[in-house]
Amino acid sequence: MADRQADTAATDAAATGAAATGAATVDAAAVLRAARAAGRTTLTAPEGRLLADAYGIPTPAEGLAETADEAVALAARIGGPVALKIVSPDIPHKTDAGGVRVGLSSAAEVREAFPALVRNATAYAPEARVEGVLVQRMAPEGGLEVLVGAVTDPTFGKVVAFGLGGVLVETLKDVTFRLAPASTEDAESMLDGIRAAEVLRGVRGGPAVDRAALADLIVRVSRLAADFPEVAEIDLNPVFASPDGVLAADVRIVLGDGPPPQRRQYSEEEILASMERLMRPRSVVVVGASAEPGKIGHAVLRNLLDGGFDGAVHPVNPKGGTILGRTAYRSVADVPDGADVAVFAVPARLVPAALEEVGRKGVPNAVLIPSGFAETGEHALQERLVAIAEKYGTRLLGPNIYGYYSPWHHLCATFCTPYDVTGPVALTSQSGGIGMAVLGFARATGTGVSAIVGLGNKADVDEDDLLTYFAHDPHTRSIAMHLEDLKDGRAFVAAARKTVREKPVVVLKAGRTGAGARAAGSHTGALAGNDAVYDAILRQAGVIRAPGLDEMLEYARALPVLPTPKGENVLIVTGAGGSGVLLSDAAVDHGLRLMTVPDDLDAAFREFIPPFGAAGNPVDITGGEPPATYEAAIRLALRDPRVHALVLGYWHTLVTPPMVFAELTARVVAEFRAAGVEKPVVASLAGDTEVAEAGAYLFARGVVAYPYTTEKPVAALGAKYRWARAAGLL
């Protein structure tokens, strides 16, 4: 085989085109077709180099040698030191086979290494086809080893990866992901998105890497992955990043089966039209309505009637007659025209036939409460429902759900307990049990909701449909979603990005382990555990990921209460030094910036706090101070335009009782907001049981306050800041 020599410098390769051109793409496609025709799932190193060349990915000078003499000649031409690597389509992991030698500087070393590598490969895999030995120039010393790669995620499709590389890559697992193809902005955010980001900037006198070249490499790899559905994984590890550029020492490409079948896509207009009729129906049909208490069909009908829904409600039961004072129709076909929603409360086996009737009737939405579908292994039955619904243009919510609530429209279409407190929070859950926890939390905290929606198996309607609706819903100001999976991760990201510009989206993603990583064919694949990709892509989408159910619910109700901050400066004012320390720690943990208090503001605080207190940040007014000191400190912080958010730490004393503190704080905050000074204010209340009442009083008046915790109020403020940054408001 004739040897092939590459560009001799990373900078030369990086300068040869911004992306794959038409001709380069044809070359890459030909390489992939040849590998497929040979029945291989892994490209050889020379094939990987061809794809790298096509996309302007800088690699070391190299060539393929079939004999020891050719290897010696190549090494002399390339210039040492060199590495020798066995080339075999049947040996994907060269190091395991003893098929790699590095740091060879002399002709004698190269001549001795060539047959040794061939012997090792033959002993490791006797049936393996050995095509030769790759002779590759060693990367210059001093470069930082990083990994750049791509993988096909089952939820999000092609994603690009970046992190620390080399031998510790799977130990440290310091890696982040973005959707492919990635923009330059995405790539630059990845450089700052790993724990070791400071290393890239240079530490302890070390030089910074060429960030532009590294970001460009990430973009190129992401384009290669996105251009070819059959490329399952790309692994450049190590990539040597230095002040002079980047160099991919090893290119590994794994082939897969191509993209999965696409789900049916709906336009934004189609989604809004259907969801509007789901959430604001004029008429509802209950399929399987029952007069017998204890039956799901009875509970659904009772909730609809008792909730004050002012549209028409039509029970459907094959026995006909009257149910709860309403005429019961024997078939959906007999129901008067104009129904917007059909709620199903019949056994799973009866759903397909009834859904046919609903479709023929032209009802645009079917709410499938019954279980017994994909969640129990009945995938074919669920797929049958989807086919029927698509035939008639009916959208499916469910199956296997508790129903849904639309309180602003007095709609309670569920067999669970009713809830009718209207407000700005939309809540969704994939699990019925979590859905009832959501409802219980709302009731216990008095949280007003715009919707509570069960999603269940998500045979059709899923989170991106609801996000599209909630983004336009005037009653919704924050959205919280519990999910176990996403049916279409890219559709969710697209919907979330649009929604986050206007309203915060909080996500609780259940299931933090990634079993898929066990079967990965590369370092990148092994690192792309399910949760690792979810975490990075959700952040890319701008949503706030909650660590637990309590946080999801608290963020959802707190975010509409807090005004949007106009800057990053956070000030802590506390009556207890210990609380101040904990509040400071929490602020750092949640990405908040504690302002450096200017000298004039520091002096202003010192005028009214005792000499044994402390100005600075936190401002410690001490616990024995009267209400006037608390009020003066709050007023000063709200008045100063350099303070953008205020964290209060209250300590219960008889000098300033809890409700006195709550009332003065609420009064002062309301006064400033009436004057146009709107800053987020949160409070931590430490004390006896009275602080719980004081906290509730403050929360109801626009100050997010919690008793017995320093973490929760700061976490809520941190969530508000994360949303404001994602929305481009800071």
Which string of b and e fits 610-628 if b means at least 16 CB within 10 Å?
Answer: eeebbbebbbbbbbebeee
Return the SS3 of 681: strand
Q: pLDDT value at position 515? A: 44
SS3 sequence of 257-277:
CCCCCCCCCCCHHHHHHHHHH
- Extract the tokens encoding 275: 């969801």
Report yes or no: 151 and 233 within 8 Å, Cβ to Cβ. yes
Dihedral of alpha carbons 653, 655, 657, 658, sign? negative
Question: Is the bond preceding 181 in cis, omega lying within 30 degrees of 0?
Answer: yes
What number of other Cβ atoms are within 10 A of residue 546's Cβ? 22
pTM of the model: 0.88
Compute the distance between CA of residue 44 and CA of residue 663 in angstroms, rounded to an integer: 72
Q: pLDDT value at position 263? A: 80
Compute the distance between CA of residue 381 and CA of residue 314 in angstroms, rounded to an integer: 27
Residue whose C-alpha is closest to residue 644's, from 579, 563, 541, 561 = 563
For residue 188, give the H/E element and its range. helix 184-191
Return the SS3 of 593: strand
Q: pLDDT value at position 168? A: 58
Compute the distance between CA of residue 327 and CA of residue 311 in angstroms, rounded to an integer: 15
The stretches in the chain having pLDDT less than 50 are: 1-22, 515-526
Report yes or no: 353 and 377 within 8 Å, Cβ to Cβ. no
Q: pLDDT value at position 531? A: 83
- Extract the tokens encoding 720: 């508000």
Q: pLDDT value at position 512? A: 64
In the block, residue with structure tokens 């490969």:
121
Report yes or no: 425 and 537 within 8 Å, Cβ to Cβ. no
Report yes or no: 159 and 153 within 8 Å, Cβ to Cβ. yes
Return the SS3 of 603: helix
Which string of b and e fits 42-57 if b means at least 16 CB within 10 Å?
Answer: bbbbbbbbbbbbbbbb
Amino acid (one-letter) located at 402: Y
Instruction: Find the helix packing angle between 211-227 and 22-37, rounded to 10°.
Output: 60
Q: Where are the alpha helices (H) located in 228-342, listed in sequence order?
A: 268-279, 296-306
- Tell me the pairing of strands 283-287 and 505-509: unpaired
- Extract the tokens encoding 587: 């602020």
Q: Strand order of the sheet with strand 132-137?
A: 62-65, 132-137, 82-87, 100-104
Report in angstroms the alpha-carbon separations of 217 from 244, 250, 604: 14, 14, 52
Compute the distance between CA of residue 70 and CA of residue 73 in angstroms, rounded to an integer: 5
- Extract the tokens encoding 206: 């070390």
Amino acid (one-letter) located at 109: E
Digit-coded pLDDT (tens) for 632-686: 999 999 999 999 999 999 999 999 999 999 999 999 999 999 999 999 999 999 9
